[in-house]
Structures are given as structure tokens and as C-alpha cells.
Structure 1
């Protein structure tokens, strides 16, 4: 099955990327995917309802940050790291480093 609807590389806009990454839940999702690689949507460790998580994943996908692939009844999410680095070199690295520093120490 093909990837779920996502913008073409030329259609990814900086404002949409920054908006998507401005939410703590979406940023937590991106940090998990960056750390662990492609993840099943149901395996993401965020404390929100499934419907809320679906909306956050939609925002990330529509901004061009993530790619969602269907495999049977599961959805797998990965970062569009190469695309983002091509369009906005270093941006994702800076944002993720800053977010990781703000994470609470356990």
C-alpha cells in the first residue's frame, strides 16, 4: 500500500514545519522517531487520547515532517529527515537538540 497523503518536497513550507514542531506533544513524537527510527503509531509513548494523537500525526504529516505508511491495519511513522535536511539544512538538528535539553531529567 502506498504512503498516506503527504506533501511533495517542493510543497513543504518552513512556516508549516515550525508550527508543527511548536507543540510539545508533536515534538515528543518527533524525538521518539528520531531516536528509535520508524515507529508504529500505537507504540508512540505520549499521554494523549488516540484521537488526539491521530490529529497530531496528521499535522506532522501534512507539514512534511513525517511519512506514514500503511501495513495491514497498522500505520508506521518515520521522519522525512533527508527531505527536511535538503530544504532546511540543520533546522531539525537545532530544534531537536533544544527540545532534548528542555526534557525533564529522570
Structure 2
């Protein structure tokens, strides 16, 4: 059994396509076939992405709600982190919009 290591950008491309089309029946299998990878890999990457996003959001909310900011500098660091995460989300949304038309035109 061989073990392939895929790059993070490759994995995020697949997760992004999944997020754009997650209501499509059989989307994980379609993406696996499109990219020549296993359906299990696609499912694992989606799960890992969702767990990572949920954990980061939960940790930031917990820190904010419990007022764990002993100094103004710490508050600014947390705010900076939150704003960076928003930028990443917006970049993903922009990428989704750019790829939507291309993905819709694909034949499965």
C-alpha cells in the first residue's frame, strides 16, 4: 500500500470545491474521481478542515468571552488574528466565486 503526500494547496483546492458544492449528491466521490484520489482522502481532508476551523473559532470566542486579555497589546494581537482569519475566509470565498463557473461546466 503506497502512501501519497499531497500538498496543502492541493488539499485546500479539493476542500474548497467540496464547500462550494457540498449539497451535490455524491460530491466526495466525484471529486475523488476528478483528481484521481481516494474518496477516503477527500473525506478526511474535509473533516480535518472543519475540525480546524471549528477549534480556532471556539478558542478565539472562549478567549474573548472570558476576557483573557491582560493587556492592550494582547487584545491587539487577538484582534489581528481574528482579522487575518476573516481575510482568509474572504479569499476562500473569492476563490470559490472564481471557480464556480469552471466547476459547473465540468462533466462528471
> Normalised by the shorter chain, which TM-score bucket?
0.3 to 0.5
Q: Which has the bigger relative contact order, CA under 8 A and spacing at least 6?
A: 1
- TM-score, normalised relative to structure 2: 0.36
- TM-score, normalised relative to structure 1: 0.37
Please say which structure displays the higher CA radius of gyration: 2
Higher strand share: 1
